[in-house]
Amino acid sequence: MSLAEEYTETSDDSRLERGLAYVQRNSRAYLLIAPAAVFLLAVVGYPIIETFRLSLYQSPADSNIETFVGLQHYVEIFNSDIFYRLLWQTGRWVVAGVAGKTLLGLLIAVHLKGDIRGRKFFRTAFLIPWGIPYAISAVVFRWIEHPQFGYLNAILLKLGIIEQGIGILGNPSIAWLGVVVADIWIGTPFMAIIFLAGLQSIPQELYEAAAIDGAEKWHQFRYITLPQLKSVVLIATLLSTIWTFVSFDVIWTMTGGGPISSTATLVIHIYQVGLQNGNLGRGAAYSVIGFLFLFVFAIIYLRIYTRGGDEL
Q: Mean pLDDT, to the nearest integer, of 25-42? A: 87
Q: Who's near 265: CB < 8 A, 6+ residues apart?
A: 86, 89, 90, 93, 245, 247, 251, 257
Give the separation between CA 229 and CA 240, rounded to whole angstroms: 16
Write the burial class of residue 202 (CB in 10 Å: 0-12 exposed, 13-18 middle, 19+ buried): middle
302: Cβ–Cβ under 8 A, 6 or more apart, which residues?
234, 238, 312
Q: pLDDT per residue over 47-61, tens digit each?
A: 899 999 999 998 887
Interatomic CA distance for residues 275 and 285, integer angstroms: 13
What tens digit of pLDDT does each residue of 64-120 get? 788 899 899 999 999 999 999 999 999 999 999 999 999 999 999 988 887 777 777
| Amino acid found at 5 | E
Q: What is the chain's mean pLDDT, rounded?
A: 86
Cα distances (Å, whole numbers) of residue 13 to 3, 8, 19, 53, 258: 15, 9, 10, 38, 61
CA dist., res. 188 & res. 243, Å (int): 13
Contacts of 48 (CB under 8 A, 6+ apart): 291
pLDDT per position as a tens digit, 158-194: 888 888 888 888 889 999 999 999 999 999 998 998 9
Structural contact between residues 298 and 304, judged by C-beta atoms closer than 8 angstroms: no
Cα–Cα distance measured from residue 253 to residue 246, given in angstroms and rounded to the nearest whole number: 15
- Determine whether 49 is exposed, middle or buried from the number of CB atoms within 10 Å of its CB (0-12, 13-18, 19+): exposed
Nearest in space to 138 (alpha carbons), one of 100, 186, 194 = 186
Residues 245/94, Cβ–Cβ less than 8 Å: yes
Average of per-residue pLDDT across 241-250: 92
Q: What is the mean pLDDT of residues 203-227?
A: 87
Question: Across residues 112-130, what is the average pLDDT?
Answer: 77
Q: Could you check whether the bond before residue 259 is cis, i.e. omega within 30 degrees of 0?
A: yes
pLDDT of the residue at 312: 47
* Domains of the chain by start residue, with CATH: 46-78+278-311 (no CATH), 80-259 (1.10.3720.10)
Question: Is the pLDDT higher at 226 or at 128?
Answer: 226
pLDDT (0 to 100) of residue 18: 81
Instruction: Give CA–CA dist 106/212, Å, rounded.
Output: 25
